[in-house]
Amino acid sequence: MHKDWSIRRLFGVPFVLWGVLFVVLPLFFVLHAGLTDEVGTFTLAVLGEAVQWEYLKALGLSVLLALVSTLACLVLGYPLCLILREYRQKNGMIIFLLFLLPLWMNSLLTTMAWQTILERNGVLNLFLGALGLPTLQLVNTPAAIVIGMVYNFLPYMVLPLFVSVSKVDKSVIEAARDLGASHWQTLRYVMLPLTRAGIISGCTMVFIPALTTFVISALLGGNKVLLIGNIIEQEFTAAYDWQLGSALSMVLMIFIILNMLLEFFTSEDNERKEARV
Amino acid sequence: MQKTRKIYLALIMLFLYAPIFVLVAQSFNASRYRGHWTGFTWEWYTALFENEDILAALGNTLTIGVTAAVCATLLALLTAVAMRRMGTRTRTLFNGVANIPLLNADIVTGISLMLLFLGLGLRLGYDTILLAHIVICLPYAMLCILPQVLELDDVCYEAALDLGASPFCAFRKVVLPELVPGIVAAFLLSFVMSADDFIVTYFTKGAGIDTLTTEIYAELKLGIHPEMYALSTLFFAAVVVFTVLLVLNFRVLRRYRGRMARQGGQA
């Protein structure tokens, strides 16, 4: 028996090698490139170059758009999860599959299709015009980027949120309703606190890809809206300034680490509470 | 209330499917240009099978996707089995490392892998894309397999050993069948992640090789070949058919099981 367990422990070795080589080591390569000059001596000069006003402005806009998109995903996704929860018994699976099907379409193509929908002579304005409404100038604005982000990242919000929402016992909601809480009060004082972990998990899942995308902003923002992702991408593929690109990535990594910590502490908090109950 | 719910669902579905309708419509559009409907045509569907760039990119996407998904699933299975016997602290560490590519931004993962590959003196190409895809698929494969492996009961496995099965035989005949749903999910999710990935591929691909996503991105500047719309429509249609069959199969299976249970109760 013991021999069997020790062999099984060896099963972990490939992962350790893999993790060190392809997960941890690459991040050190970024740190190395961001913190050294051309000849390889340690310097903070590149990092200093990365925090200049022009880049900070792009970073600020990225954070703002990512926050708006995350909030929009939450506001759109939460009612959807509540509805999916209600329908779960009857034909919830079909609605859920309907929700998942668009994920199989290539996301670059669907994002580009939004360009076709939102542009000046696009599908949306065609409909608005036919209804006699004023047309909208959306493409190449931050609003179009937010729409693209919500479209691409809504599933990242809905999947963890749905897990969390469907865990809430039906009798808890019924008890709240029996005790005279309105729909709104039930949502505010029962559902939202009970699904806090799911909300935070969903928000962290949406925020990072929204903060760091360069594709959505390139396709829907023309070249008029520059996000931090676009700047990093250009440093690597057009300007070939890998040091500066790495230093900017390090600035992004600060947000990613903060995000990981938030996710880690809230989920642990949740587990501890469950253990106590 | 019921009505509001239905309207809300309908609006969400409209939002989700609007771009897909646009893409399907484009695949039948006689005009090469986006947003100008000039008539119906099948032309792009026949042209698709003569467009060698797209077919080559499709080949790369499929072979890389399948290989990466198989490798990620196997590695996840091996690691999950090892993690069963670990202390909480080691397990948390393993989990943390496994989740880094999931929580990290794609652009940072892509750049870091590119710097690694170049630092190790590898030439960017097919192999580096494959390695990078295994990196991004592994957390998803773990997500599907690990909970199932951790929930396994040792009793059946030990019974098989006591009855004279070798550890490998016991694993294959007793443990593996229980893990099949997780393994299938891990494979499918990994494949989707690999096939739909653009950012990591973009940074690790090097010149002269394209997957479908990078091919699309390259075409964006000059205008997408309508054959690409035809390909994605065909692919989407296949997925829809597969899903419908799955749902029907599921229903038939459930009815059949219900009938079996009832007959069993009577006997």
The nearest CA of chain A is from the CA of B106 a distance in Å of 7
What is the number of domains present in chain B?
A: 1
Please check whether residue A139 lies inside any domain of the structure: yes
The nearest CA of chain A is from the CA of B264 a distance in Å of 25
Please check whether residue B253 lies inside any domain of the structure: no
- Burial of residue A131 (CB within 10 Å: 0-12, 13-18, 19+) is exposed
**A-chain residues within 8 Å CB-CB of B106?**
209, 212
The pair of three-digit structure tokens given for residue A140, joined into one six-digit string? 């190449």
A87 and A119 within one domain: yes
User: Does A76 score more than 70 pLDDT?
Assistant: yes
In this complex, do B78 and A15 lie within 8 Å of one another by their Cβ atoms?
Answer: yes
Residue B69 contacts residue B137 (beta carbons within 8 Å): yes
User: Does B251 score more than 90 pLDDT?
Assistant: no
Most distant CA pair in chain A: distance in Å?
78
Instruction: Give me the percent of chain B exceeding a pLDDT of 70.
Output: 98
Considering only CA atoms, give the Rg of chain A. 23
Using pLDDT thresholds of 50, 70 and 90, give the confidence band for residue A5.
Answer: low
Instruction: Give me the percent of chain A exceeding a pLDDT of 90.
Output: 34
The pair of three-digit structure tokens given for residue B44, joined into one six-digit string? 């792009």
User: Does B136 score more than 80 pLDDT?
Assistant: yes
Please check whether residue A45 lies inside any domain of the structure: no
Closest CA to A75 of A87, A67, A64: A67
Residue A140 to residue B266: CA distance in whole angstroms: 68
A26 and A95 within one domain: no
Residue A260 to residue A27: CA distance in whole angstroms: 15
The CA-to-CA distance between both ends of chain B, in Å, stands at 46
A169 and A70 within one domain: yes
- Phi first, then psi: what are they for A42, rounded to 5°? -65, 135
In this complex, do A109 and B131 lie within 8 Å of one another by their Cβ atoms?
Answer: no
Query: Taking the alpha carbons of A170, A191, A188, A81 in that order, is the dihedral positive or negative?
Result: negative
Residue B147 to residue B140: CA distance in whole angstroms: 12
Q: What is the mean pLDDT of residues A66-79?
A: 96
The per-residue pLDDT for A269 is: 53
> What is the domain range of residue B101?
52-224
**B-chain residues within 8 Å CB-CB of A102?**
16-17, 19-20
The pair of three-digit structure tokens given for residue B126, joined into one six-digit string? 């097919």
The nearest CA of chain B is from the CA of A252 a distance in Å of 8
In this complex, do B107 and A249 lie within 8 Å of one another by their Cβ atoms?
Answer: yes
The per-residue pLDDT for B267 is: 47
Please check whether residue A143 lies inside any domain of the structure: yes
In this complex, do B81 and A22 lie within 8 Å of one another by their Cβ atoms?
Answer: no
CATH number of the domain residue B163 falls in: 1.10.3720.10
A189 and A139 within one domain: yes
| A191-195, A265-269, B56-60: the lowest-pLDDT one | A265-269
Residue B146 to residue B171: CA distance in whole angstroms: 16
Using pLDDT thresholds of 50, 70 and 90, give the confidence band for residue B186.
Answer: very high
| A121-130, A167-176, A265-274, B155-164: the lowest-pLDDT one | A265-274
User: Does A263 score more than 70 pLDDT?
Assistant: yes
Q: What is the pLDDT of residues B170-180, one digit of tens each?
A: 888 888 888 99
User: Does A25 score more than 90 pLDDT?
Assistant: yes
User: Does B16 score more than 90 pLDDT?
Assistant: yes
B112: closest chain A residue by CA: A26
The pair of three-digit structure tokens given for residue A112, joined into one six-digit string? 């580009």
Residue A169 contacts residue A195 (beta carbons within 8 Å): no
The per-residue pLDDT for A209 is: 92
In this complex, do B85 and A121 lie within 8 Å of one another by their Cβ atoms?
Answer: no
B196: closest chain A residue by CA: A106
A105 and A12 within one domain: no
Residue A31 to residue A242: CA distance in whole angstroms: 11
Residue A147 to residue A226: CA distance in whole angstroms: 16
**A-chain residues within 8 Å CB-CB of B224?**
109, 112
**DSSP secondary structure string for all residues of A1-34:** -HHHHHHHHHTTHHHHHHIIIIIIHHHHHHHHHH
Residue B89 contacts residue B159 (beta carbons within 8 Å): no
Please check whether residue B207 lies inside any domain of the structure: yes
Residue B133 contacts residue B194 (beta carbons within 8 Å): yes
Please check whether residue B185 lies inside any domain of the structure: yes
Residue A116 contacts residue B35 (beta carbons within 8 Å): yes
Residue B146 to residue B154: CA distance in whole angstroms: 15
The per-residue pLDDT for B246 is: 82
The CA-to-CA distance between both ends of chain A, in Å, stands at 36
Please check whether residue A272 lies inside any domain of the structure: yes
| A162-176, B104-118, B250-264: the lowest-pLDDT one | B250-264
The per-residue pLDDT for A271 is: 53
Please check whether residue A44 lies inside any domain of the structure: no
Please check whether residue A177 lies inside any domain of the structure: yes
- B73 HSE (CA, 13 A, CB side): 21
By Cβ distance, the residue of A111, A122, A209 closest to B35 is: A122
Residue B223 to residue B194: CA distance in whole angstroms: 24
The nearest CA of chain B is from the CA of A106 a distance in Å of 6
What is the number of domains present in chain A?
A: 2
User: Does B153 score more than 90 pLDDT?
Assistant: no
User: Does A77 score more than 90 pLDDT?
Assistant: yes
The pair of three-digit structure tokens given for residue B79, joined into one six-digit string? 């690691």
The per-residue pLDDT for B39 is: 79
User: Does A51 score more than 50 pLDDT?
Assistant: yes
The nearest CA of chain A is from the CA of B240 a distance in Å of 7
In this complex, do B111 and A204 lie within 8 Å of one another by their Cβ atoms?
Answer: no
Using pLDDT thresholds of 50, 70 and 90, give the confidence band for residue B96.
Answer: confident
By Cβ distance, the residue of B15, B75, B232 closest to A18 is: B75
Please check whether residue A43 lies inside any domain of the structure: no
Q: What is the mean pLDDT of residues A43-51?
A: 81
Cα dihedral: B63, B69, B71, B75 (round 10): 180
DSSP H helices in A88-212: 92-100, 107-118, 123-130, 142-167, 170-178, 183-186, 192-194, 196-212
By Cβ distance, the residue of B12, B104, B134 closest to A256 is: B104
By Cβ distance, the residue of A8, A104, A112 closest to B239 is: A104
Could you tell me where the beta strands, DSSP code E, fall in chain B?
Answer: none
The per-residue pLDDT for A173 is: 87
Averaged pLDDT score across all residues of chain A: 85
By Cβ distance, the residue of B20, B114, B224 closest to A102 is: B20
Please check whether residue B11 lies inside any domain of the structure: no
Residue of B112, B116, B142, B175 to mutate for A, most A C-beta atoms under 10 A? B112
Please check whether residue B217 lies inside any domain of the structure: yes
Please check whether residue B113 lies inside any domain of the structure: yes
Please check whether residue B152 lies inside any domain of the structure: yes
> What is the domain range of residue A7?
1-35
Residue of A25, A100, A104 to mutate for B, most B C-beta atoms under 10 A? A104
A64 and A20 within one domain: no
A138 and A233 within one domain: yes
A89 and A14 within one domain: no
CATH number of the domain residue A267 falls in: 1.10.3720.10
The per-residue pLDDT for B262 is: 73
Residue B40, classed as helix, strand or coil, is: strand
Please check whether residue A46 lies inside any domain of the structure: no
Task: Considering only residues B143 and B247, tell me which one the structure prediction assigns the higher pLDDT.
Answer: B143
Using pLDDT thresholds of 50, 70 and 90, give the confidence band for residue B203.
Answer: very high
User: Does A91 score more than 50 pLDDT?
Assistant: yes
Residue A88 to residue A76: CA distance in whole angstroms: 19
Q: What is the mean pLDDT of residues A1-21?
A: 78
Scored b (16 or more CB within 10 A) or e, A157-195 reads: bbbbbbebbeebeeeebeebeeeebeeeebbeebbeebb
Using pLDDT thresholds of 50, 70 and 90, give the confidence band for residue A134.
Answer: confident
In this complex, do B196 and A107 lie within 8 Å of one another by their Cβ atoms?
Answer: yes
